[in-house]
């Protein structure tokens, strides 16, 4: 049985979780792969930092270079997070020809092309299963099991913090701020929750999936991102009454040709490349759809491909155990590649297509629009007139009884409309004297 030496950088909650899982399942992993993974060094912040699982003192070092520069270490795992020192560490390891396993979605989102290019130049590989959806093997599924599919649509609930908050708001009718405070107390949300609740963490992960699915790197700056802060118990309640559940949804869809343009065919189509829309937003999901039942800190990714059709991947999206499972999968792949002397068995990311992320204004969907209006005659007529002028058809209107001060909520559901037309109409509606305070506009996804 061939031995492959491993060095770890990061020995806190996630790092010690990976170390423990590897020790517990080392014999099982060896029996299944025919290789034995041996941890040689673990770089940590401090020898006595709090960690859920112990790491032998003889293995620990305070200097990450002791791991990266050790000639006997063949695989380096990066579990420190962030885009600063983590990038330095990963590039240093790749430049020395070492395989790198990372769970760092922010790093990949910001510097993916540079990192993959460095790996290719050094004749090694970068593995990143744990970067998206925790323990759900979605990277390997897209890259291997569904390698013969064209991906028409991918939808992901990929941030456990937001899903926990929205689940509590739905079950209890609680306000966002109260649930967020509970999530922080329970350790489901960071002290500074911005990355999660404003949608950026989900955007990092959605961009990685979009890049892998469509063969060109999706810059995270091109992804439309909205978070869950503006949602109120009223929005949750009326979505339910209309037959929907609100989820923070990452969406990746093949976009139609630009308005007035004909779809290219044959060689022209190949040269033009694929047009996709990529967005993260609170979205109304039908209660009958499987994604509506994904609750608490769980994640799910719904993939529609050709020829496979619809498939769903569900599981824990974060935490030391879910991350450890994904990292062990990558360690097995890296060890097998090293033992067999090949990088072609599991290519990490191979750019193979031209592509464009269309502006969010060019996308279309049904919409939920919540306004706060003065309850007087003629308001609905004026709002309807603005929408009609913009070419937007109203599917239903709900105006609950009761006021908050001088205003009352007005809920409108539209038929399919372009985002550009909807934004223009929303801006015009906001100028009406009877419309008070901010409105809320959410897409409605019917998965048709």
243 CA to centre of own chain:
25
Asked if 334 contacts 130 with a C-beta cutoff of 8 angstroms, the reply is no
Neighbours of 216 (CB within 10 A): 18
- Catalytic annotation, pick one of 41, 98, 105, 205: 205
Tokens of 21: 């899982």
Q: Look at residue 312 and give its three-state secondary structure.
A: strand
Q: From CA 291, how far away is CA 280, in angstroms rounded?
A: 15
Q: From CA 425, how far away is CA 219, in angstroms rounded?
A: 29
Task: For 168, list phi and psi in degrees, rounded to 5.
Answer: -65, -40
Neighbours of 66 (CB within 10 A): 17
Asked if 13 contacts 45 with a C-beta cutoff of 8 angstroms, the reply is no
Q: From CA 42, how far away is CA 17, in angstroms rounded?
A: 13
Whole-number Cα distances in Å, 347 to 56, 169, 305:
34, 41, 20
Asked if 73 contacts 59 with a C-beta cutoff of 8 angstroms, the reply is no
174 CA to centre of own chain:
25
Query: Is position 431 annotated as part of the catalytic site?
Result: no
What residues are labeled active site?
205
């Amino acid at each position: 049985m061939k031995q492959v030496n491993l060095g770890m950088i990061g020995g806190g909650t996630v790092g010690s979780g990976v170390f423990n899982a590897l020790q517990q399942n080392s014999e099982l992993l060896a029996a299944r792969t025919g290789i034995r993974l041996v941890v040689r060094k673990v770089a940590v912040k401090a020898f006595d930092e709090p960690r859920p699982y112990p790491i032998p003192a003889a293995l620990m070092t305070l200097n990450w270079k002791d791991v990266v520069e050790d000639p006997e270490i063949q695989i380096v795992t990066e579990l420190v997070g962030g885009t600063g020192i983590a990038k330095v560490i990963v590039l240093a390891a790749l430049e020395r020809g070492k395989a790198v396993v990372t769970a760092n979605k922010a790093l990949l989102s910001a510097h993916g092309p540079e990192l993959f290019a460095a790996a290719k130049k050094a004749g090694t590989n970068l593995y990143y299963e744990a970067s998206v959806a925790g323990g759900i093997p979605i990277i390997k599924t897209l890259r291997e099991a569904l390698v013969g599919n064209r991906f028409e649509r991918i939808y992901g609930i990929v941030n456990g913090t937001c899903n926990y908050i929205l689940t509590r708001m739905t079950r209890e009718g609680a306000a966002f701020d109260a649930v967020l405070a509970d999530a922080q107390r329970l350790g489901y949300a960071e002290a500074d929750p911005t990355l999660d609740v404003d949608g950026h963490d989900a955007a990092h992960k959605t961009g990685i999936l979009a890049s892998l699915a469509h063969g060109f790197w999706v810059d995270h700056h091109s992804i439309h991102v909205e978070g869950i802060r503006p949602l109120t118990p009223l929005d949750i309640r009326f979505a339910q009454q209309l037959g929907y559940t609100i989820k923070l949804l990452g969406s990746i869809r093949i976009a139609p040709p630009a308005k007035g343009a004909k779809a290219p065919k044959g060689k022209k189509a190949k040269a033009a490349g694929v047009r996709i829309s990529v967005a993260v937003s609170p979205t109304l999901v039908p209660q009958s759809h499987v994604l509506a039942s994904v609750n608490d800190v769980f994640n799910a990714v719904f993939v529609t491909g050709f020829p496979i059709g619809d498939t769903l991947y569900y599981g824990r999206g974060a935490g030391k155990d879910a991350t450890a499972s994904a990292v062990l999968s990558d360690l097995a792949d890296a060890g097998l590649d090293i033992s067999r002397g090949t990088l072609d068995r599991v290519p990490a990311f191979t750019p193979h297509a031209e592509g464009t992320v269309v502006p969010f204004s060019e996308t279309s969907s049904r919409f939920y629009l919540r306004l706060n209006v003065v309850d007087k005659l003629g308001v609905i007529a004026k709002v309807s007139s603005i929408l009609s002028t913009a070419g937007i058809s109203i599917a239903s209107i709900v105006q609950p009884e009761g006021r908050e001060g001088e205003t009352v909520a007005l809920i409108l559901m539209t038929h399919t409309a372009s985002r550009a037309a909807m934004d223009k109409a929303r801006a015009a509606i906001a100028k009406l004297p009877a419309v008070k305070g901010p409105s809320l506009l959410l897409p409605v996804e019917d998965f048709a």
